[in-house]
């Protein structure tokens, strides 16, 4: 197997990965960025709403980084590490300013300064935006800037499969060139995991098809823990069947939800707030309606705008109209938009501190959605995830630079470990018969959606656990029917399935373990938040086929936990 050496290897070319790579390369180190897709295809591009920031001199006069931190902490149902929220808020202005100077085309106020608007959960408006394509605008600018640096090598359409480690340090990454299935051992002094989310574990997700949890699984298999893996965020209204997000702003402008009988069913679940009830209540309501047979065939309800009038709709909700037309073929001025809840974001992730450093494996860092600092605690606020990628991407990059400065080369030969990783991947290509990955994947998605979804209970979670274990066993029969080495997507789909099965086990176990409801984790059998017993982070390790769970305290600096009412 070929070997190449770099100072740092970044896995994932989304916003977090690129920011980290830029920071490390700007300090003079050689960086390899691995991505299974061309960088501009990364899921950062899908973020629409905007990026929150407090910019001194260009913010609401009542706002402050303190308020921003508080909103984030409260939004996370007090599971947020408050030092992370503070760093995040204080650095927000600086980083947005930097991106603006790099050329991100933020919308402007008449005087030429960056414009501001509200987003859900904010005390004062602080979201900056580029039309409805903020994520895409930021991603492209950061990619363009980073690709101009001479000491960053991009390896796109390379599938990173395994971290290579010795007793205490990470030594690199084994990845496959997707064009010809050639493995290469990327030796590195530091590895930054920035491989994004895991939506494809669920039957319905707003995530890209590439969100298969590769980063989490690689970390778990390398003996690294995930923090708060039970916390999965769902969004109440995703378009059927593409699961593209339909913003809550639509309901904010007067749209109402109706079941197959035409009823405004929210009256039964939130008699006062109706369609404007909090996300989790709306999600649970829709899922219940569908489960109890009052949804449309195919499993969705209707989002009705037709009573608002064509002019109003075209002026106030042009994006929802466009999305309905483009991705579901529906004229929203004349008929209801088909919607259903979907998985949206993953608060859990690789355990890191505010510098992005992981405590289990020296040299391993993580940033972006794949990491859990924990910035979002039990529930993420809108427009915070974009900011997280760039703030912590950069902070992690800085931490890597410091780490590299003090680095001493280890003496042990690690090539055998790397070979083992390649063998474990090639195993799946050896059979001539078996089952296709799709069969297991579809079953996994159903299990996770039904039992580890929007609402959970002991029986359901126990079922989920046993089903996942069964699927992990059945997956041994999965084989790759495509025997070509050229752009063999089936091979990578099988590796992705293995990653998903590793992560699913940890999520189900942690969800069963946490006997309270907090933020996005809702237990029908334990519906209240229990700060006395559960104001702590779950730390989970994958040990073969079982999950080991310990805990870590939540960092509380200024804000005492209080009831989360809006």
Partner 1 sequence: MSLQPQEEEVVFRIKRYSPEKGSYWQEYKLKVDRYTQVVEALRRIKSEQDPTLAYRAACHMAVCGSCGMKINGEPRLACKTNILEMVKKYGSNVITIEPMDYFKPVKDLVVDLDDFYQRMYKVEPRLHTHKEVLEGKAEHRLKPEDQRELWKFGQCIWCGLCVSACPVVPIDSEFLGPAPHAKGYRFLADPRDTITEERLKILLDSAWRCTYCYMCYEVCPREIEPVTAIKKTRAYTKLAKEKTPVTMTGEKHIESIHNSLIEVGKLDEAKVYLGTYGLLGSIRDFIYLFQSGKVKYALVKERPVENISEIRKILTGESK
Q: Which sequence positions are flagged as catalytic?
A: 279
| Footprint on residues 103-132 left by partner 1 (CB under 8 A) | 103, 105-113, 130-131
| Footprint on residues 485-544 left by partner 1 (CB under 8 A) | 486-490, 493
Q: How far is the CB of 344 from partner 1 (least distance, A)?
A: 13
Q: How far is the CB of 549 from partner 1 (least distance, A)?
A: 32
Which one of residues 13, 95, 137, 308 is an interface residue with partner 1 (CB under 8 A)? 137
Query: Strands (DSSP E) along 240-285, which ranges?
Result: 256-258
Rounded-to-integer distance, Cα 92 and Cα 59, Å: 12
Going residue by residue from 13 to 52, which x/- string records binding to partner 1, judged by CB under 8 A?
A: ------------------------xx-xxxx-xx------
Q: How far is the CB of 8 from partner 1 (least distance, A)?
A: 22
Which one of residues 2, 62, 148, 563 is an interface residue with partner 1 (CB under 8 A)? 148
Query: Is residue 151 a contact point for partner 1 (CB under 8 A)?
Result: no
Which one of residues 27, 260, 404, 549 is an interface residue with partner 1 (CB under 8 A)? 260
Q: Are 384 and 375 in contact (CB under 8 A)?
A: yes
| Footprint on residues 227-256 left by partner 1 (CB under 8 A) | 240-245
Q: Which residues, listed in sequence order, are joined to residue 177 by a DSSP beta bridge?
A: 158, 182
Query: Is residue 182 a contact point for partner 1 (CB under 8 A)?
Result: no
If the CB atoms of residues 140 and 521 are measured against partner 1, the closer one turns out to be: 140
Secondary structure element (H or E) that encloses residue 303, with its range: strand 301-304
Q: Which residues contact 482 (CB under 8 A, 6 or more apart)?
A: 488, 489, 490, 491
326: left (phi over 0), alpha (psi -120 to 50) or beta: alpha
Angle between helices 384-405 and 82-102 (to 10 degrees): 90
| Footprint on residues 357-416 left by partner 1 (CB under 8 A) | none
Query: Is residue 326 a contact point for partner 1 (CB under 8 A)?
Result: yes
Q: In degrees to the nearest 10, what's the CA dihedral of 14, 499, 223, 388?
A: 20
Q: Which residues contact 438 (CB under 8 A, 6 or more apart)?
A: 493
Helix, strand, coil: what percent of the chain each, to 5? Answer: 40, 20, 40
Going residue by residue from 276 to 305, which x/- string records binding to partner 1, judged by CB under 8 A?
A: --------------------xxx---x---
Q: Name the 3-class secondary structure at 36.
A: coil
Q: Name the 3-class secondary structure at 414.
A: coil
Q: How far is the CB of 338 from partner 1 (least distance, A)?
A: 6
If the CB atoms of residues 100 and 531 are measured against partner 1, the closer one turns out to be: 100
If the CB atoms of residues 486 and 565 are measured against partner 1, the closer one turns out to be: 486
| Footprint on residues 330-349 left by partner 1 (CB under 8 A) | 330, 335-336, 338
Q: How far is the CB of 507 from partner 1 (least distance, A)?
A: 21
Total number of residues that touch partner 1 (CB under 8 A): 73
Which one of residues 4, 27, 83, 102 is an interface residue with partner 1 (CB under 8 A)? 102
**In residues, how long is the chain?**
566
78: left (phi over 0), alpha (psi -120 to 50) or beta: left
Nearest to 154 by CA among 29, 43, 46, 36: 36
Which one of residues 164, 224, 328, 507 is an interface residue with partner 1 (CB under 8 A)? 328
| Footprint on residues 199-228 left by partner 1 (CB under 8 A) | 208-210
Q: How far is CA 477 from CA 212, 439, 492, in A?
A: 20, 11, 16
Stretch that binds partner 1, among 225-233, 247-255, 320-328, 368-376 (CB under 8 A): 320-328
Give the single-character DSSP code of 357.
Answer: B
If the CB atoms of residues 137 and 447 are measured against partner 1, the closer one turns out to be: 137
Which one of residues 145, 398, 472, 536 is an interface residue with partner 1 (CB under 8 A)? 145
If the CB atoms of residues 286 and 352 are measured against partner 1, the closer one turns out to be: 286
CA quadruple 166, 172, 175, 177: dihedral positive or negative?
A: negative
Q: How far is the CB of 481 from partner 1 (least distance, A)?
A: 6
Which one of residues 4, 27, 98, 404 is an interface residue with partner 1 (CB under 8 A)? 98
In 10 A of CB 546, how many CB atoms? 10
Rounded-to-integer distance, Cα 527 and Cα 544, Å: 32
């Amino acid at each position: 197997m070929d070997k190449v050496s770099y100072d740092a290897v970044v896995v994932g070319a989304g916003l977090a990965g690129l920011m980290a790579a830029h920071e490390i390369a700007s300090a003079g180190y050689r960086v390899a960025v691995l991505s299974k897709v061309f960088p501009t295809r990364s899921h950062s591009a899908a973020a629409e709403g905007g990026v929150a920031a407090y910019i001194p001199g260009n913010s609401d006069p009542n706002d402050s980084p303190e308020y921003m931190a508080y909103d984030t902490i409260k939004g996370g149902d007090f599971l947020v590490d408050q030092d992370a929220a503070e760093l995040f808020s204080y650095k927000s202005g600086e980083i947005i300013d930097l991106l603006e100077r790099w050329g991100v085309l933020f919308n402007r106020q008449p005087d030429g300064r960056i414009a501001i608007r509200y987003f859900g959960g904010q005390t004062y408006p602080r979201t900056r935006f580029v039309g409805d394509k903020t994520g895409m605008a930021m991603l492209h600018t950061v990619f363009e800037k980073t690709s101009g640096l001479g000491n960053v090598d991009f390896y796109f359409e390379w599938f990173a499969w395994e971290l290579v480690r010795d007793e205490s340090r990470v030594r690199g990454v084994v990845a496959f060139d997707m064009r010809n299935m050639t493995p290469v051992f990327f030796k590195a002094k530091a590895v930054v995991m920035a491989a994004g989310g895991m939506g494809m574990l669920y039957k319905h997700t707003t995530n890209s098809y590439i969100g298969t949890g590769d980063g989490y699984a690689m970390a778990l298999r390398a003996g690294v823990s995930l923090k708060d893996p039970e916390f999965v965020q769902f969004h109440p209204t995703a378009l059927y069947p593409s699961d593209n997000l339909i913003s809550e702003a639509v309901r904010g402008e007067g749209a109402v939800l109706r079941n197959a009988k035409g009823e405004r069913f929210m009256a039964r679940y939130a008699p006062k707030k109706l369609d404007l009830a909090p996300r989790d209540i709306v999600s649970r309501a829709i899922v219940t309606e569908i489960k109890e047979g009052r949804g449309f065939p195919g499993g969705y309800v209707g989002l009705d705008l037709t009573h608002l009038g064509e002019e109003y709709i075209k002026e106030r909700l042009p994006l929802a109209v466009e999305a309905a037309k483009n991705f579901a073929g529906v004229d929203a001025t004349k008929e209801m938009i088909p919607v259903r809840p979907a998985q949206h974001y993953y608060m859990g992730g690789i355990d890191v501190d505010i510098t992005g450093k992981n405590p289990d494996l020296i040299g391993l860092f993580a940033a972006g959605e794949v990491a859990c600092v924990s910035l979002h605690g039990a529930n993420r606020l809108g427009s915070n995830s974009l900011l997280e990628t760039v703030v912590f991407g950069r902070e992690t990059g800085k931490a890597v630079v410091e780490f590299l400065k003090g680095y001493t080369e280890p003496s042990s030969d690690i090539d055998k470990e790397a070979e083992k990783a390649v063998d474990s991947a090639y195993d799946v290509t050896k059979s001539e018969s078996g089952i296709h990955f799709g069969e297991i994947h579809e079953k996994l998605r159903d299990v996770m959606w039904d039992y580890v979804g929007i609402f959970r209970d002991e029986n359901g979670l126990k079922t989920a656990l046993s089903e996942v274990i069964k699927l992990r066993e059945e997956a041994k029969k999965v084989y790759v029917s495509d025997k070509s080495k050229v752009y063999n997507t089936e091979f990578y789909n099988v590796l992705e399935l293995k990653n998903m099965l590793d992560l699913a086990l940890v999520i189900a176990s942690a969800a069963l373990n946490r006997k309270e409801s907090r933020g996005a984790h809702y237990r029908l059998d334990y519906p209240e938040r229990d700060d006395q017993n559960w104001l702590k982070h779950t730390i989970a390790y994958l040990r073969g086929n079982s999950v080991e769970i310990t805990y870590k305290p939540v960092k509380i600096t200024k804000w005492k936990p209080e009831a989360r009412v809006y």
